[in-house]
Chains A and B, each alone.
Chain A
Amino acid sequence: MSALTVRDLTKKFGPVEVLKGIDLEIGTGEFIVLVGPSGCGKSTLLNIIAGLERQSSGMIEIGGRVVNDVAPKDRDIAMVFQSYALYPSMTVRQNITFGMECRHEPKSKQDAAVADVARLLQIERLLGRKPSQLSGGQRQRVAIGRALVRNPLLFLFDEPLSNLDAKLRVEMRMEIKRLHQRIGATIVYVTHDQIEAMTMATRIAVMHRGQVQQFADPDTVYRYPANLFVARFMGSPPMNTMRARLEAGNGGPVAVIGAGRPDEVRIHLQRYDAAASFVDREVVFGIRPECIAESSRMFTGAAPIIVSAPVEMVEPTGAETIVLLRLGGEAAMARITPDLRPTPGACADFALDTRRICLFDPETERLIT
């Protein structure tokens, strides 16, 4: 059964079209992350799914029921907000039971539900406190508890971790993922953080300018980004993209970066038949930073191509060294082993993993192969 179906959904604020025909089909038990830069329409989409805002046109179905004109409280959803939105004058217990109180559920049922949720989230000790007496992580836990107690068809999360500090964010990220695995709920989760998207989602919907750019599982989004926007948005540091010229070669095309320059880089591509029609044309050449490494690196399955390139800058992060270099005059980032620190200004040899290179059409910006 599909838990949520969104069909041809649009939203206009006056003359501004913030959502331009969104289509999503989400199965029961999926963890969907809507990710995109601020202003891409992801929060608006979530609010429309929740019923807090009205769509301009299109259809929304939750659990097989069309809910276009159904009030938020009757959509069988629960939502967790960025600011937690805990009711300041109520205790944690009252915060959790407020929804049930509104639905006139008996006190005994409320108490049992609070006890269950409090045990699950380990917030039993906090039940008598006010939100102002809680830390950020505790508040977020209570906000999640308030959603869980509803036991809805659909959970909506609106950037729930953005107000937490980095360490806590990682902890809560794992906790939410664990929670999802444990209770098997269907979740739609909005974030601008692509790492949250990669780590938690079963499928990611990458949004930009009111449209879904790609809707696929994290590996596909990462390895085969549908277009240049997705390629540059997902991943940290993002995919290196540079202009290149495709030439015919033995057993496959050759990508030439900085064609005609003395330092031009020629990369022989194998199994890139789909690019045949782009031979002798310009393409955008995309390579992930982790596919450029120190020259001694062995990539499994294929012998790397070794290129010599000038190093511009070195950023040691501890776990690895990020190197800003020039390939055929174009800037690129490489992730090399932390032990190596190439000298800026000098040339160094790098190994290129050519199996995961992406080629994009420079006009449509779509993935060729």
Chain B
Amino acid sequence: MRKLSFEPSRVLIYLVVSLLAAAYLAPLVVVVLNSFRSNQEIAQASMIGWPKQWAWSNYAAAWSGFCVAETCTGIRPYMLNSALVTIPATIISTMLGAVAGYAVSLWRFRGDSWIYGIVTLGLFLPQQMRLLPWTVVLRDIGLINTLTGLVLVHTIQGLSFTTLFCRNYYAAVPHELIRAARIDGAGFFRIFWRIILPLSSPILIVTVIWQFTHIWNEFLYGVTFTTGQQQPVTAALIALSAAIADIPQHGVQSAAVLIAALPTLLVYFFGGRYFVRGLTAGAVK
């Protein structure tokens, strides 16, 4: 067995690291604790404190009972909205990014590097800059304040990232594979479907996790392009805190935040190791 050593320098390092970790985790702890405390308890004591009684009712209220902007349905319909936006936008942007990455990395055509450059330029444009153009587009095609509109925005904005990741992954695929398939008589889509896609699971997992997390947590588009019943949960949470501004409902609010964060946390817990593995996955041999 290894001997435990208590060198002073090591103790100091652990002390500092623990303090930083505690500082970083403190807000989460406060939110988790508050989600189990009743309103009176928080009002009488303070925002920070251990629950005297574990109040599960906050979660029930946040989920389906609480009133947001005059409708008393909790955050359930908004969670559904988020799912209806996030799931299709994640799938479509990942598939399109895979096809686009495959095209720019494994096929030569005039202007291919320009197209790739322009697509990935989208990564560097600030989100606020895109708001106005998107408003005009969504208005003109009649998709403002619809979930379909949000799916469209997230799909297209997601393409920069998904194309970048897939292209870099496919860059390691030997070109001779494509040449062999072309001589065998396979076309663009058959090669993608039969040869490239079956090699792609590591990178598809990475892009799906990334896209899901980002679209689910996205706030600005949601709050700008939708109102009322059409909002995703991130935007609805703000409406919730506005609604309870007069009478603070920190318990319900905390529970709502935690419910809203749950899907991405689950994705992280179950997919995180694939994410890291996928990021470091190299050549396809």
Contact = CB atoms under 8 A, between A and B. Distances in A.
B177 A87 contact: yes
B261 interface: no
Which of A78, A82, A90, A102 has the most chain B CB atoms inside 10 A of its CB? A102
A140 B267 CA distance: 42
B285 interface: yes
Interface in A71-120: 71-73, 77-79, 81-83, 85-90, 98-99, 102-103
B277 interface: no
B252 to A, nearest CB: 50
Contacts of B205: none
Contacts of A103: 185
A50 interface: yes
Interface residues of B, number: 18
Which of B184, B199, B284 has the most chain A CB atoms inside 10 A of its CB? B184
B193 to A, nearest CB: 11
A220 interface: no
B179 interface: yes
A2 interface: no
Contacts of B179: 47, 50, 52, 72, 79, 81, 85
A73 B180 contact: no
Contacts of B199: 88-89
B182 interface: yes
A73 B174 contact: no
A88 B284 contact: yes
A98 B181 contact: yes
A132 interface: yes
Nearest to B190: A102
Interface in A122-157: 132, 146
B285 A78 contact: no
A81 B185 contact: no
A98 B184 contact: yes
Contacts of A98: 181, 184, 186, 194
B182 A52 contact: yes
Contacts of B284: 88
B107 to A, nearest CB: 12
Interface in B258-285: 284-285
A73 B184 contact: yes
Contacts of A83: 174, 176
B181 A87 contact: yes
B242 interface: no
Contacts of B183: 50, 52, 72-73, 77-79, 99
Contacts of A132: 285
Contacts, number: 62
A87 B195 contact: yes
B198 interface: yes
B110 to A, nearest CB: 13
A102 B181 CA distance: 9
Which of A78, A79, A103, A132 has the most chain B CB atoms inside 10 A of its CB? A79
B180 A85 contact: yes
Interface string A46-64: 0100101000000000000
Contacts of A87: 177, 180-181, 194-195
B188 to A, nearest CB: 12
A82 B176 CA distance: 8
B185 A73 contact: yes
Interface string A156-175: 00000000000000000000
B285 A88 contact: yes
B174 A85 contact: yes
Interface string B162-189: 0000000000001011011111111000
B285 A81 contact: no
Nearest to B179: A52
B189 to A, nearest CB: 12
A88 B190 CA distance: 15
Which of B179, B181, B285 has the most chain A CB atoms inside 10 A of its CB? B179
A52 B176 CA distance: 10
Nearest to A81: B176
B5 to A, nearest CB: 45
A99 B184 contact: yes
Contacts of B181: 87, 98
B185 A99 contact: yes
Which of B177, B180, B190 has the most chain A CB atoms inside 10 A of its CB? B180
Interface in B129-181: 174, 176-177, 179-181
Closest CB pairs A-B (n = 5): A89-B198, A73-B185, A102-B185, A99-B184, A85-B180
Interface of A: 47, 50, 52, 71-73, 77-79, 81-83, 85-90, 98-99, 102-103, 132, 146
Given A85-B179, A87-B194, A146-B184, 17 more contacts: A50-B179, A52-B182, A71-B182, A72-B179, A72-B183, A73-B183, A79-B183, A81-B176, A81-B179, A85-B176, A85-B180, A87-B181, A90-B194, A90-B195, A102-B184, A103-B185, A146-B180
29 contacts: A47-B179, A52-B182, A72-B179, A73-B182, A73-B183, A73-B184, A77-B183, A79-B179, A81-B176, A82-B176, A83-B174, A85-B177, A86-B180, A87-B177, A87-B181, A88-B177, A88-B198, A88-B284, A89-B195, A89-B198, A90-B194, A98-B181, A99-B185, A102-B184, A102-B185, A102-B186, A102-B190, A103-B185, A132-B285
